[in-house]
Amino acid sequence: MTDTILQDLDDFHAALAEHPRVLLFKHSPICPTSATAFDEWRAFARAHPEVPRLFVDVVGRRAVARGVAEACGVAHQSPQAILFRDGEPVWHASHWDIRAETLAEVWADAAPETSGT
């Protein structure tokens, strides 16, 4: 699965409605810290290609990045990763806290519970 690049807030809301769990990455193409976090994001994506992922360029789509923050109630930062479960943010991190291993852990932790019957 590739990143869904958010062009507008309709794309964001559609993705939340479509996927029970989805990870979003906010990236600034002009920030070295964001470049490092983006490398971690790509490492996670290579290891977990099945994970639905959203991507927003905070420079090119500033209104979308800010709109996501308003819609979900998580203060905007860049770089930033947010995990949504059932349309609600359940985890977020920014800057140096965005690591491929951390993304994998929080993705697994947010898996829907299954009945053992």
Report the CATH number that the domain containing residue 50 is assigned in CATH: 3.40.30.10
Count of CB atoms situated within 10 Å of the CB of 50: 6
Residue 45 pLDDT: 97
Residue 52 pLDDT: 97
The answer to the question of residue 27 being in a domain is yes
The answer to the question of residue 65 being in a domain is yes
pLDDT digits (tens, 9 = 90+) for 73-104: 999 999 999 999 999 999 999 999 999 999 99
Of 68, 66, 2, 81, the residue nearest 34 (C-alpha): 81
Number of separate domains in the chain: 1
Determine the 3-state secondary structure of 80 from DSSP: strand
Residues of the chain with pLDDT under 70: 1, 114-117
Q: In degrees rounded to 5, what are phi and psi of residue 106? A: -70, -30
The answer to the question of residue 115 being in a domain is no
What's the whole-model pTM score? 0.93
